[in-house]
Structure 1
Amino acid sequence: MFIAPYACGAAWLSNAGTPDTADDEVIAFDITNSGLLSNRILAIHRAAGGQTWFGQIQVASEEASGVTRLVWEPGNAETARWTSWTAAGGLPSGAVQAVFGLPDGSAWVGTASGLTRVGPGQQEVSKVMNSSDGLPSDEITALVLTRTGRLYAGTSSGLGLVEPGASTASEVAGVDGAVSALVEDNAGAVWAATDKALFRILPNGRLEEYNTLNCPILSTVIKDLACDRDRGILYIGTDHGMWTVDLGGGLSGDGGSATLYPNPFHPGDGEVLGVAGLEDIPTEIRVFDLTGSLVYEFAAPDRDGIAWNGADMDGRPAPSGIYVVQIIQDGFEALTGLALVR
């Protein structure tokens, strides 16, 4: 894992998988021994493809800053390859406060002056968006890309949403205040922390609000959010300590508690069906209607790769109704019901 003490660059930490501190390893990176642009790092994200992204800011206008991608063999500094994008190369601003890396080596980048997409090529910058394109504010403070392809952009005055393939954004109604953190949970809901409250946006768009009056947290000054999707646990870092929320139904399991989510399933709202309660191994699903006819089947190399958009094998929308879903893994098979609603 990486940590970034402010103005001190970044440090990679490894405990070698043991509780013994004797085999711990630390590798420190800063502007003197790496491709980092600045030692002032505000955002770190490890992409599914293995790349690590660093969002950096400057204090003085003459200081270098931007976003930097690291590709390396973890623990071997000699293999590190660094690529950076700056305002001179097309970023809306050199002050990068949020980044979300993608498997292909590109990333969504949130700056003090707008949202953009960079990479995978060096200095490749595209899709610049700001408040004139529907975002609540030009200042982007947090980002999360959901498994359905929706990009949520936290700003200094609300939450924006960019639908897959869209060139404009919309504001998520009801999420008030400056957004400090975003995370997607194991059930596909998005949690947004603002200076007003903690919000949960369910896959069907319904909004839940949590504050000191209706939940146990002692403060809504939330610094960061994280979710252990395998175990179904949400972590909330506040100025009054760390809180955990057991969301139930983590993604991992032996199959005995296999669960479809969301259920009921509303594909017309942009939802994608997923499966929780399984081992993270190759998985196959088959969807049947109540006559026993096969509607859809799909195989994925891992649990998280399973997704269904509600279309049949010919790409036509499956009608509303009750379906039976067969879940198959090595040594395990289960049948479960699904309600599809359009």
Structure 2
Amino acid sequence: MTFTDKDGVPDGEGSVLLPLEGMAWFGTFRMGLAFLNYGPSLEDKEDDRWVHIFTAKFPKLTSNNISDVEVTPDGRILVATEEGLNVFRAVYSGDELQLEGWTVYDVSDGLPSNLVRSVCYTPEGSIWVGTEGGLVRIRGDSLMVYTRSNSPLVDNTVYALEYDAGRGCLWIGTGHGLSRLQISLTSEADAPEVIAFPNPFFPEDGPLTFHNLPEGSSLRIFSPSGELVRSLSPEGGRKVIWKGDNDAGYLVGSGVYLYVVKDPQGEVQVGKVALVRRRR
């Protein structure tokens, strides 16, 4: 089925169609979004109802340049733009479209770049965001950033994302090749997240402990500039300690350090810890 500007699409270039229960969303490169209520039949265009969503009419939309659109099972609309990720709910009633619960994610919220090129929802409840500066996982109030320096990602510019239900993995299309990330569908009760405690970490008061490490996992700690500082592995348990030193045994300075935990299946957890050294 083809829709053009003659049917109601504001811009025929780069449009995305996502049918959903008699409705569809189009994202365009220059003219914002278009919502279509196509009624009982997608082929019958006589009863189509269109709503155009652009910044002049809907100022909460951060940009009219739309790279990707996704609809989650619970009805959230995920819109990738050049000025961040827009998330909202759409309620269509009586030929009127109401947009509710609008949220924007950008660099102020932890995205490595405002230029969002792709977005994908995975069944365990994560929103994956492909940006100019890396891959981001949003799950509840948690936000994790994956880059070349802290993960096997082959390039920080992420153009496309696709969840593969058969393999249980996320395919990541980048500027220099394809990466694959295995997605865990287990509940948090079965697969608890790694906890770093205490955080902030004052080395003079004792070591930092990483809890809930998967069996057979490895842990790497990176500096604020992305350099590898320390590599650790749990021995005889699911926890490991860090004394605030590097692999050469020298103490490192104050800063926010990134830790990356990778299990034998290739699944990755990422977090941050603040190391604070008291002045003497």
Partner of 1:78: 46
Against the structure 1 CA distance between its residues 149 and 46, is the aligned structure 2 distance closer, same or farther, given a 3 Å change threshold? Answer: farther
- Report the Cα offset of residue 104 of structure 1: 5.5
Structure 2 unaligned residues grouped into runs of 5+: 92-96, 195-280
Against the structure 1 CA distance between its residues 43 and 136, is the aligned structure 2 distance closer, same or farther, given a 3 Å change threshold? Answer: farther
Q: Is the 8 A contact 1:154 1:178 kept in 2?
A: yes
Q: Which amino acid aligns with 1:67?
A: L
Partner of 1:268: 192
- Give CA deviations for 1:223-276 in whole Å, capped at 9, x if unaligned: xxxxxxxxxxxxxxxxxxxxxxxxxxxxxxxxxxxxxx77xx943259xxxxxx
Partner of 1:54: 26
Higher relative contact order (CA 8 A, sep 6+): 2
SS in 1 for 2:47: strand
Against the structure 1 CA distance between its residues 91 and 160, is the aligned structure 2 distance closer, same or farther, given a 3 Å change threshold? Answer: same
Of 178, 184, 198, 2:157 maps to: 178
SS in 2 for 1:152: strand
Partner of 2:71: 101
Q: Is the 8 A contact 1:96 1:109 kept in 2?
A: yes
Q: Is the 8 A contact 2:22 2:42 kept in 1?
A: no
Q: Which amino acid aligns with 1:183?
A: E
Calculate the TM-score normalised by the size of structure 2: 0.56
SS in 2 for 1:184: strand
Partner of 1:69: 35
- Give CA deviations for 1:192-215 in whole Å, capped at 9, x if unaligned: 1101221111124xxxxxxxxxxx
Structure 1 unaligned residues grouped into runs of 5+: 1-11, 13-27, 59-64, 205-260, 271-342
Partner of 2:170: 190
- Report the Cα offset of residue 117 of structure 1: 1.3
- Give CA deviations for 1:55-74 in whole Å, capped at 9, x if unaligned: 1122xxxxxx1112223222
Partner of 1:41: 14
Partner of 1:161: 137
- RMSD of Structure 2 on Structure 1 (CA): 2.7
Q: Is the 8 A contact 1:156 1:177 kept in 2?
A: yes
SS in 2 for 1:93: coil
The number of residues matched between the two structures is 177
Identity percentage over the alignment?
A: 26
Of 101, 111, 114, 2:81 maps to: 111
Partner of 1:30: 4
- Report the Cα offset of residue 153 of structure 1: 0.5
Task: Give distance in 1, aligned partners of 2:114 and 2:15.
Answer: 17
